[in-house]
Amino acid sequence: MHRRSILWAAASAFGAAFAASRAGAATEAPPTKKLKVVYHLNDLDKVSFVVGNIQNHLNGVGGPDNVTIALVVHGQALRAFHASAANPDLTRHIGQFAKAGIELAVCGKTMKSQKVGLADLLPGFISADQGGVVRIAELQSQGYLYLRP
């Protein structure tokens, strides 16, 4: 009988150790996945607001290493990004965003309708030749979260 008690105690200890290790594994946070976000901007009167949101987003997560951000601009909002008309604060932010690796996409159809090319815009923009909304849909299909402030 003494042998059984020792065996039972050993089995119980092993079971308790196994249960404790599984409980610890269950409480460990899974590795966080880097979020991907696309900001949609087509309202001229929201340009400063959206640029501020992107800056706050970067600051809130500790910088561009912790989030992937894309900005897709079309419609009347594009007028704010014409190099000849952009205010210094907007120019500075766009330069910082480009350096941080933020995709700055502009609708090719809007550029055509406004008769501007990439050279007429602030540096850092790329053309979404098939359209801004098409680019947004592509990004969403790649797991980007959609934000339209």
Distances (CA, A) of 112 to 80, 108, 115: 16, 6, 5
pTM of the shown model:
0.78
Question: Hey, which residues does 105 pair with through a beta bridge?
Answer: 72, 126
Nearest to 104 by CA among 134, 79, 67, 74: 74
Helix, strand or coil for residue 27? helix
Amino acid symbol at 10: A
Q: Which amino acid is at 99?
A: K
What ranges do the domains of the chain cover?
1-31, 35-147
pLDDT tens-digit series, residues 40-77:
999 999 999 999 999 999 999 999 999 999 999 999 99
CATH code for residues 35-147? 3.40.1260.10
